[in-house]
């Protein structure tokens, strides 16, 4: 298992920033993975534009399996397999949301551009802060985990119980949570080692994916 070293040639410890040139190389690697994965998502959204909405559930299950698989592969230092599963994750999620994207493209294409711009702005701002801050934000992990579970629980309850402005509450809370996740994941990236490149790229990609979908729903309105 490879690891970065500090400028004094001692192994970087958890919570310690790694050497500047090494951190820059890891940043480039991770963002390259993220960019390619986003490309696979766009490809999936194009290829699956005629799929039925019911197919999405199966595709989401496959995407979840990719997430589990790439983390296992990364832990076992099987980087090529982990990278392949990362790109597969992007493709499957693109296929899963393809009917939604196609609907917006046909009825309200401006919402797609606005959501893309809002996502880029949010991720760039939050990512820059998370990467630039000298604070170790690992203590956020537990809070963000429970916040995400709470968001999921609220979404399930809102399906069965009439809650005024539930869609708006869910969207705003979701944006806040995934913006915080973006800060947290870029902070992890600053302090990480090369063997974690693929899992962190997956985490940042999922932040982007979720922010985009929530922004699209917020700006364009929910499609039935």
Residue 7 lies in a domain: no
* CA atoms of 158 and 141, how far apart (whole Å): 26
Residue 141 lies in a domain: yes
pLDDT at 3: 39
Query: Which phi and psi angles does 21 have, rounded to 5°?
Result: -65, -35
Q: Rounded to two decimals, what is the model's pTM?
A: 0.86
Residue 10 lies in a domain: no
pLDDT at 18: 52
Residue 27 lies in a domain: yes
Closest CA to 18 of 197, 193, 214: 193
Residue 12 lies in a domain: no
pLDDT classification of 88: cutoffs 50, 70, 90 = very high
Q: Which residue has the tokens 């401006």?
A: 110
Range of the domain at 71: 20-220
How many domains is the chain built from? 1
Burial 26-46 (b: 16+ CB within 10 A, else e): bbebbeebbebbbebbeebbe
Instruction: Classify residue 110 as exposed, middle or buried by CB count within 10 Å of its CB (0-12, 13-18, 19+).
Output: exposed
Residue 3 lies in a domain: no
Count how many Cα atoms sit within 13 Å of the Cα of residue 181 in the half-sphere of its side chain: 23
pLDDT at 165: 85
> 164-216 pLDDT, tens per residue?
888 899 999 999 999 999 999 999 998 888 889 999 999 999 999 999 999 99
pLDDT classification of 65: cutoffs 50, 70, 90 = very high
Residue 169 lies in a domain: yes
Q: Which residue has the tokens 């947290």?
A: 184
Residue 2 lies in a domain: no
């Amino acid at each position: 298992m490879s690891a970065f070293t500090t400028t004094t040639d001692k192994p970087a410890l958890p919570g310690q920033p790694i050497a500047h040139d090494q951190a820059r190389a890891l940043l480039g690697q991770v963002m390259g993975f993220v960019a390619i994965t986003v490309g696979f998502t766009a490809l999936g959204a194009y290829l699956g534009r005629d799929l039925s909405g019911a197919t999405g559930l199966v595709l989401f299950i496959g995407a979840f399996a990719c997430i589990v698989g790439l983390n296992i592969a990364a832990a076992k230092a099987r980087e090529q397999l982990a990278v392949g599963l990362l790109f597969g994750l992007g493709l499957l999620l693109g296929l899963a949301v393809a009917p939604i994207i196609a609907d917006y493209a046909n009825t309200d294409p401006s919402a797609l551009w606005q959501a893309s711009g809002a996502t880029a702005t949010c991720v760039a701002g939050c990512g820059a802060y998370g990467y630039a801050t000298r604070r170790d934000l690992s203590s956020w992990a537990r809070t963000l985990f429970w916040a995400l579970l709470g968001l999921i629980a609220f979404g399930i309850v809102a399906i069965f119980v009439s809650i005024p402005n539930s869609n708006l509450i869910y969207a705003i809370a979701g944006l806040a949570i995934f913006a915080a996740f973006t800060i947290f994941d870029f902070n992890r990236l600053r302090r990480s080692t090369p063997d974690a490149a693929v899992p962190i790229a997956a985490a940042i990609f999922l932040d982007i994916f979720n922010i985009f979908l929530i922004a699209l729903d917020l700006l364009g309105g929910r499609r039935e």
